[in-house]
Amino acid sequence: MEPFLAAILVGLPLAWLAAFAAYAYVDAPKRGMDPRKWAAVSFVVPFFGFLAYLFERDERDYDPEEDPYARGATFAVHESRRGEELIDPGGTGADDGNGADGGDRAPDGSENGDGDEWNDPPGVDL
């Protein structure tokens, strides 16, 4: 076999296994796990050992005091929108003047009959 081809076929998978083991060794202490054990598992059991490490590690605790994006986060409403009536998500509960069936009705509930499904304001004719 060609030496260059042999180096690629053997060296590349070994490099990946070493990279998986190195990641597990560096990351395990941050998660409160034994770094030597998980580096060995990641190296000895190809690919599935590293997946086992990823699934077994604990999630880090979320501390809002350490999150730079959580500090002072508030929901701001623009001044021009402060007095408006809120609608349900998706607009399902708002009365838009079209009636319950979404048909062509006037705001008073009577049949509009002009075929304007967009309910344009008076004076707008397109």
Is residue 123, in this structure, part of any structural domain at all?
A: no
Question: In this predicted structure, what is the pLDDT of residue 101?
Answer: 47
Is residue 47, in this structure, part of any structural domain at all?
A: yes
Is residue 104 within 8 A of residue 116, CB to CB? The reply is yes
Q: How many domains, in total, are found in the chain?
A: 1
Is residue 20, in this structure, part of any structural domain at all?
A: yes
Higher-pLDDT residue of 65 and 55 is 55
Band (88; pLDDT cuts 50, 70, 90): low
Is residue 120, in this structure, part of any structural domain at all?
A: no
Instruction: Find the domain containing 44 and state its range.
Output: 3-56
Is residue 52, in this structure, part of any structural domain at all?
A: yes
By CB atoms closer than 10 A (0-12, 13-18, 19+), residue 53 is buried
Is residue 46, in this structure, part of any structural domain at all?
A: yes
- How many whole angstroms separate alpha carbon 109 and alpha carbon 58? 58
Q: What is the pLDDT of residues 28-63, one digit of tens each?
A: 998 888 999 999 999 999 889 999 999 988 777 777
Q: What is the mean pLDDT of residues 12-17?
A: 92
